[in-house]
Amino acid sequence: MGKKRKKRCYCGIGGQAVLEGVMMKNQDSYAVAVRRPDGEIELKKEDYKGIWGDKKITKIPFLRGVFNFIDSLVLGMSTLTWSAQFFEEDEPEKNIADQKKKAKKPEQKETVSDAVTENVDGKADATDTKEKKSGAAESIAVGGTVALSILMAVAIFIVLPYFLSMLFSHYVLNESLLAIVEGVLRIVIFVAYVAGISAMKDIRRVYMYHGAEHKCINCIERGRELTVKNVRKSSRLHKRCGTSFLLFVMLVSIVLFLFIRVQNPLLRLGLRILLIPVIAGISYELIRLAGRSDNFLVRIISAPGMWLQRLTTKEPDDSMIEVAIASVEAVFDWKAYLKETFGYDVEDWEKQDAAAKAKLAQYDRLLGMLDLRDLSEKTNRITLPAVRVRKEDGDVTQQLVWGDMGKFVRLLLWEEEQMDS
């Protein structure tokens, strides 16, 4: 009989990889953990209700997928920008310049206390104004980047495959078959793009952090304690991954585009673009179902996305796993989740582990004191005689219990308090 699959339970957290780090989101809060160049982990945690707030329209099935998709792009781009600030090439030069400016400032001293107070208040107001302007500028930059990303995605994965498929129109006369050719070209372009950028060193490290993110979620959803050891042996593939979502988008688009029966080529292309929100809404519901169910049918429809994740995720090292764990623990109480969902009390585990380690240390100490003068093996059994250990304050008798070869040999102390002296 095969090994029984351990049940997976949906935990509700999700995230993405950033530059040298991981972002994790749980309900209305998110955290970003980044490994700085000096080796320390920088952690940022903030509340986040999305750019749409709690409007009811964002909860309606099929519509919620569109809102969540845009929301994920905005949050993802914002956290990616934040992580990039730790790795700007000109950062050391800026710090040196700032230090030089600060070194010159003490020469200018204020002599009147009122003037000093006004100066401090003025600086505080200027700082607040500067931060507001900086925040507004960052929001505009993120919004512009998201809009540009969407336009580029439409151009590369919608417009380009459409015009390439037109090259086959003289050979493929059936419109449905031509739509399938277009869909296949779209998937080929996407896979080639993902595989191509994976050759870049920085992107490969992002893929490794992507793997660490998945491993942490899989570790929790399988009911395991969130440690580096447990995370390392968890799968780096997950059904709720954004990669799977994009593949669902492409597969759903093939089905929907089969029903577009328009002769005008430009109008046909325009209808494809207009259908993008519909495709995103359907794909979101599919990925949502996949994340909450583990039946045979769901595993079948999730399989292509899981295969594709072998390109977008790589095995992380332990330092990357530590960053991912820090991000999870900032927004999610995994100990409470394991206790509520699986009935595991991690604190009891820790106490039992400590007691077991103490007992093993005691056994090792005692075994090191034994003089095994009469060791014999008979029919897969070990015979260990009683041994007398002489100490300065007298004799202490230990009795060794016989045991099978495959079992642990236990030591029973008759006078344990004398051994501890």
- pLDDT tens profile 362-421: 666 665 555 444 444 433 444 444 444 344 433 444 333 334 333 344 443 434 444 444
CA distance to 246, 276, 385, per residue, from 153 (Å): 11, 11, 77
Please report the pLDDT score of residue 9 as a whole number: 84
Q: What is the arithmetic mean of pLDDT over 180-205? A: 93
The range of the structural domain enclosing residue 60 comes to 14-89+123-344
Confidence of residue 353 (pLDDT cuts 50, 70, 90): low
What pLDDT is stored for residue 149 in this prediction? 86
Residue 6 is predicted with a pLDDT of 55
pLDDT at 230: 93
More confident residue, 269 or 124: 269
Please state which of the ranges 47-61, 217-231, 341-355 shows the lowest mean pLDDT. Answer: 341-355
With respect to residue 103, please indicate whether it lies within any of the assigned structural domains: no
How many domains in the chain? 2
**Residue 363 maps to a domain:** no
Q: Is residue 356 part of a domain?
A: no
Domain-located, residue 275: yes
Domain membership of residue 55 (yes or no) is yes
Question: What is the per-residue pLDDT for 366?
Answer: 60
Residues 77 and 206 in one domain: yes
Residues 248 and 178 in one domain: yes
Do 285 and 197 fall into the same domain?
yes
pLDDT band at 97 (very low <50, low <70, confident <90, very high): very low
pTM of the model: 0.73
pLDDT higher at 265 or 54: 265
Residues 110-130, mean pLDDT to the nearest whole number: 50
Check whether residue 330 and residue 376 sit in a common domain. Answer: no
Instruction: Say if 160 falls within a structural domain.
Output: yes
Q: Are residues 141 and 269 in the same domain?
A: yes
In a shared domain, residues 290 and 404: no
Same domain, 372 and 338: no
pLDDT at residue 72 greater than cutoff 70: yes
Shared-domain flag, residues 252 and 155: yes
Q: What is the pLDDT of residue 233?
A: 93
Among residues 279, 310, 344, the one where a domain terminates is 344
Residue 301 has pLDDT above 70, yes or no: yes
Are 190 and 338 found together in one domain?
yes
More confident residue, 51 or 279: 279
73 shares a domain with 151:
yes
- 177 and 265 inside one domain: yes
pLDDT band at 350 (very low <50, low <70, confident <90, very high): low
Contact at 8 Å (CB) between 83 and 21?
yes
Reading phi first (left if > 0) and then psi (alpha if -120 to 50, else beta), residue 394 is in left
> What rounded mean pLDDT belongs to the chain?
78
Residue bearing the bigger pLDDT, 125 or 76: 76
Q: Between these two residues, 187 and 390, which has the higher pLDDT value?
A: 187
pLDDT the model gives residue 391: 40
Region 248-263 average pLDDT: 90
Report the range of poorest mean pLDDT among 50-64, 70-84, 399-413. 399-413
* Model confidence at 111: pLDDT above 50: no
Q: Within a domain: residue 7?
A: no
**Residue 132 placed within a domain:** yes
Residues 230 and 337 in one domain: yes
